[in-house]
Amino acid sequence: MFPVRLAPLLRADGVPVQVARRLADAGHEAFLVGGSVRDALLDRSRGADEFDFATNASPDEIHALLAGWAAGVVTVGKEYGTIGGTLDGVTVEITTFRTEAYRDDSRKPVVEFSGDLETDLSRRDFTVNAIALRLLPAPEMVDPFGGLADLGAGVLRTPLDPEISFGDDPLRMLRLFRFTSSLGFTPDESALDAARRMAGRIGIVSAERIKGEIDRLIVGDHVEAALWGFVESGIAEEVIPELPALALEQDPIHHHKDVLAHTIAVVGKCPPDRITRLAALFHDVGKPETKAIDRGGVTFHHHEVVGARLTRARMRELRYSNDDVDDVSNLVYLHMRAHTFKMGWTDRAVRRYVRDAGPLLGRLNVLVRRDVTTANDKRARAIQRGIDELEERIADLAQREELESIRPPIDGHQVMAHLGIAPGRVVGEAMEMLLEHRLDEGPYTEDEAYALLDAWWGSRGG
């Protein structure tokens, strides 16, 4: 008898059975494979409905069966044997039985279509993802590589020898830690050994694919264990070398803490928001370059400035979007700002903090709080009280001023009309002067803005 948790996949009116029936009626085999089967067996809820099928039908045959039946049929992956579409609002991808492998000097896998399911499953990343479910004519579980046992044991093992699996697709070495993060499973020791030996092979994988795995790894519930594996395997050295560089040598006199351990702890303490956790991952990458030891101990002066620059360069290297690069590097740049106001939060300081953070304010405050990993309870409480005070000051000032839209009462067009000047650098300088007054003194009227503008223009000989 099949587990009750598989019942949603076996419903006669469900999308999986509809797809299987469509293929079976045309004389083709159809197996549900991948994450939908794995997660159903684990009784894990999936964020979105998506089903992957493996079949002996050719890509052209799959296309013909989906066209006119499923919505939004996608053929972008046809050369790799995959045709996609949407049925009842659910994404479906159907792939011809296949094998794929990377040549030594290529960033694109070579795909060959095979004639049987077992060969297809043997070339998947891990045994827990190499379990197939036949839906028609009767439910049947196909598990040639012991994936069900590994699922029960919480182990990530490759269907074939790990050197073969990782050689076929080196990205699987990074996926080893992505699934550690998302599932909480433990990598098989032979897979870890192979990853350590073959880490350099990941260099042939495209930056876009690597980025996709990092994004999934970083939001997992078990991200700390995954990051330690990522670093200790040597994969991080190939992908984000700034991370293992944080394992600074302990100074025998000052005994400063290991920045790598601190960083991984901060990531784990942050909520599973991708941007916040990426900022936590990068927030101290400027420390190795700025490390200095003097009589006062170890210092990392301006590490946030250096760190923002290194973050921006690495994220661009990984092909992150401009918005992602800006958001994460700005969080890294600003993460020390809250600690610089030790004498209390003046209105001026609060306005500048809010203006500089902009829409990142909430994430910045979370990062600043989670950045406290000291074992000194007294110091930790003092830092948290400082952040509490800051947030109270922001809330108080927000009631009195429009903090979310800090801007002068007049715009650039009004400046040009008042001064009788054309667009150019001077307009920007005038607006900057008016903004500085807004930040220093708070809200003011249009009349006051024009008076300030006249005085400023007169001081320039205008």
The whole-model pTM stands at: 0.83
User: Same domain, yes or no, for 8 and 149?
Assistant: yes
Of 190, 224, 239, at which residue does a domain stop? 239
pLDDT tens digits, 376-408: 778 778 778 878 888 888 887 776 666 556 778
Record the tokens describing residue 447, joined without a space: 């009349």
- Is residue 254 in a domain? no
Of 103, 127, 153, at which residue does a domain stop? 153
Q: Whose structure tokens read 């794929």? A: 100
User: Same domain, yes or no, for 277 and 384?
Assistant: yes
The residue segments making up the domain with residue 64 are 4-153
Domain count, the chain: 4
What pLDDT score does 277 carry?
98
186 close to 79: Cβ distance less than 8 angstroms: no
Omega before residue 137 within 30° of 0, cis: yes
What pLDDT score does 78 carry?
82
129 close to 34: Cβ distance less than 8 angstroms: yes
- Is residue 231 in a domain? yes
User: Same domain, yes or no, for 106 and 45?
Assistant: yes
Residue spans of the chain under pLDDT 50: 47, 253-254
What pLDDT score does 402 carry?
65
What pLDDT score does 47 carry?
45
What pLDDT score does 383 carry?
78
185 close to 127: Cβ distance less than 8 angstroms: no
User: Same domain, yes or no, for 199 and 145?
Assistant: no
What pLDDT score does 222 carry?
98
What pLDDT score does 233 carry?
97
Of 153, 178, 195, at which residue does a domain stop? 153
What pLDDT score does 250 carry?
57
- Is residue 391 in a domain? yes
User: Same domain, yes or no, for 320 and 347?
Assistant: yes
Q: Which residues contact 299 (CB under 8 A, 6 or more apart)?
A: 290, 291, 292, 293
What pLDDT score does 404 carry?
59
User: Same domain, yes or no, for 162 and 226?
Assistant: yes
What pLDDT score does 386 carry?
79
User: Same domain, yes or no, for 302 and 336?
Assistant: yes
What pLDDT score does 417 carry?
87
